Structure 1
Amino acid sequence: MARHSMSGCTARTTFHLIGPQSWTAVPAALVYDSTDPFAVRVRFGDDDDRAHDDGSAYEAAGADDAGSDTAPDEDGGVEWLLSRDLLRAGLVGPVGEGDVRLWPARGGLDVLFLQLRAPSGEALFEVSGAAVGQFLRETDALVPVGTESELMRVDDELTALLRGGTDNPTSH
């Protein structure tokens, strides 16, 4: 069931951390906010009992390259910032360099692999490709592909930068 706000959407899902001999279910949320139209946040440790048994739920939520923000959020989880385009491309073929890499499983399986690297180590996850695809369709309904630049507040960001401020003017 999908619910939207004017500014974003959230998909709660489960990523599976692949270990040497087993895997561990990790609750997570894919978060999109139209005030940062090129980015998708992956919040690991986002445990919420509204998630369905199939690992997916949608809830309203108030760059061509991927980046990471591995600092714990206020709830103690970890958040990574990914490019929406990178996430979309990872559904159909291998993409990414450095800290973030994505690729679909072979043989038509509904699996997307996500490899994350940080100074503290690296992790390999698998997640439902269908869940990621559905989430991306929800983001496209909010901000169609190719229209992201129209939402950027470049003048506000440039003014803040020239004033020497480090605050993000789009995070009001």
Structure 2
Amino acid sequence: MPQLPVEQLPTPRSLTRSMAMELLSADIAVEVETTVGYSSRDPFALSILFHLPGDAPVLWRIDREMLLAGVLGATGDGEVRVTPAPGGMLHLRLGVAGHCAVVRCGQEQLARLVRDTFRLVPQGTEERHIDWQPLLDSLSH
């Protein structure tokens, strides 16, 4: 069987930003340091690493378009829900209802970061940045 030509992947690009967020409970908001990251090799999502005092960091991956849509109105279903909040804030509900965390962050700061990801990988070009070879290799074994 003839081999198809392999299209060369664009050079990987990434960004990482520290961002303060607040973990909300019924009676208190606790500031949590986070690291928000993006890699063109995983072009559809941002990673948010929560650095919890005394615990191992917790990682969530969230669709970048969902984060932008959440600035305009409630979006998401299942384990991730994004909702605008008063004072230019954004609420991220992570986990299933009843067993979830609600995190608050600045809408503009997060939206600016998401817009920066679209400069690295424009919408509609995401598939060109994914390295499919490891998946193809695993299927051939």
TM-score band w.r.t. shorter chain: 0.7 to 0.9
The partner residue of 1:147 within 114, 125, 129 is 125
Name the SS for the 2:68 alignment partner. helix
Q: Which runs of 5+ in 1 are unaligned?
A: 48-74, 165-172
Q: Which amino acid aligns with 2:35?
A: A
Pairing 1:117-156 to 2, within 5 Å after superposition: 117=95, 121-154=99-132, 156=133
Count of aligned residue pairs for this structure pair: 130
Q: Residue type matched to 2:116 in 1?
A: E
1:67 corresponds to? none
Shift of 1:20: 1.0
Bigger Rg, which one: 2
Identity %: 29
Equivalent residue letter for 1:11? R
| Structure 1 segments of 4+ aligned residues over 4 angstroms from their partners | none
Superposed CA deviations along residues 115-161 of structure 1, whole A, max 9, x for unmatched, are 0115993111110001101101211111112211121233x144223
Distance 1:19 1:46, change over 3 A: closer
Deviations 1:31-73 (A, max 9, x none): 00001101110100089xxxxxxxxxxxxxxxxxxxxxxxxxx
Q: Could you say what the CA RMSD is over the residues aligned between the two structures, in angstroms? A: 2.4
| More off after superposition, 27-36 vs 111-120 | 111-120
Q: Is the strand fraction higher in 1 or 2?
A: 2
- Shift of the 91–117 alpha-carbon distance from structure 1 to 2, 3 Å rule, reads same
Structure 2 unaligned runs (5+)?
A: 1-10
Q: 1:120 to 1:105 in 2, by over 3 A?
A: closer
Match of 1:31 among 34, 37, 42: 37
Instruction: Compute the TM-score of the two structures, normalised by the length of structure 1.
Output: 0.68
**Matched residue type, 1:163:** S
> Which amino acid is 1:101 matched to?
R
| Number of the residue aligned with 2:47 | 41
Checking the alignment, whether the CA contact within 8 Å between 2:67 and 2:111 is kept in structure 1 is no
